[in-house]
Structure formats: C-alpha cells, structure tokens
Amino acid sequence: MSIRTKQRTQDRQIGLVQAALELAAQKSPAEITTAELAQAVGITQGAVFKHFQSKQAIWVAVMEAVQQDLMTRLQTEVTAHIAAGGALTALKAVFTAHIDFVLQYPGVPRLIFQELQHAKPTALKDRAQALMLAYRQLVVGLLDQARTQEHISPHIDTHAASALFMGAIQGLVMQSMMAGTLAGMKTQALKVYDIYAKGLLAPVPQPLKEAQ
C-alpha cells in the first residue's frame, strides 16, 4: 500500500468514525446502517468495507477515538487545575469537562449504555469497559489526593465516591435523554456537583450510644 493510499484510507476511517458519532446523536447506534455511514462521507456502501472489515469494527474504532479524546481532555483539565487549586479543584474541572464532552457528542452515552447492557462479551463492550476503568482510576486518584491534601473528609471511601461521581453524570445524561433535550444540562450539572462536593466535606456521623 502506497503512502498516498494509506493516507486516503486513514482519512476515510476518520470520516466514518465522525459520521458515526454524528448519526448516533440522532438515533440509536444499533439502527445506524452502513448505507447511512457511506452516504454521510460520500462513498458507496461497498467502499465502507475497504476501510473497515465490519460494522462492528467501525464502532470499535469510534469507542477507541472516544476514549482517547475524552481521557486526553480530562487529563488536560487535571494538569491545568491541580497545581493551582489542588485535586478537588481538578475534580470539578473533570466533571464539567465531561459534561461539555457529552454536549458535543450526545451519541456517546447512548453507545456506551447500549453496549454495557449486552450479557456476552464483545470487542466493543471491552472497549467501553476499558474507558470506564480508565475514567474510574482517574477519579479515584484525584479523590485520594484530595484526601491526602485534607481537602475532603479523611473518612471518605474514594471508590464509593468515584462511583457516585460517575453516577451523577450518568443520571444527568439519562434525564436529558428521556427529556429529549440537552438544554439546561450544564446548569443542572453544576448544581449537582455542588451537592456532591458538600458530601465529600461532611464528617462521618458517629454511631449513637446505647442507653445505659
């Protein structure tokens, strides 16, 4: 394969990934056909399979691109905020950056939710799980640092707190999807994060003493 041909293939692959993301914002990924993807990038349906072996391979490439893009954005926010404001400031920046990512690519949560529901393992489900693991590790790491810096309660279970962090975003996304609009999600997200952050600062309640 010549350099020019290889470059053309890479361009087509990028175009198909972008088209899949755009179409997923409008309908379920399971309903998107290779004919629709081909039309979106201006090629024939048969030509799609010159660049990807299967429809599943396209979605795996989408998930790989999503993981790289999202995690790069989040890590950039961490780097930008952790030195100036500490881990807790960086954690809020990660939360808002994730919301911004969803607003830009509303089809991504739909794709992830769809794949994680499958009982049997697939290449796409593996990629979705890898993304969730990398995300969870980032959040737990920030919470551990915040606890070490004494910016949150020393009694916080950081793994449970990371689950709540991710669940808050997932809940916001699910509510927006059910409402059929993302309008107002950013404003609501900031209010939700404020409640979450207050929980990180709250002291653990002491057990009641038994009456003598």
- 180 secondary structure, DSSP code: T
Burial 62-74 (b: 16+ CB within 10 A, else e): bbebbbeebeebb
Provide the pLDDT for residue 210: 60
pLDDT of residue 86: 92
User: Residue 169's pLDDT is what?
Assistant: 95
Give pLDDT, residue 83. Answer: 84
pTM for this model (two decimals): 0.86
Convert the pLDDT of each residue in 156-181 to its tens digit. 999 999 999 999 999 999 888 888 88
Q: CA–CA separation, 95 vs 54, rounded Å?
A: 34
**What is the pLDDT, as a whole number, of residue 192?**
96
Q: Which DSSP helix (H) or strand (E) runs through 85?
A: helix 55-85
State the pLDDT at residue 161: 97
* Residues of the chain with confidence (pLDDT) below 50: 3
Task: Classify the C-alpha dihedral 162-166-172-175 as positive or negative.
Answer: negative
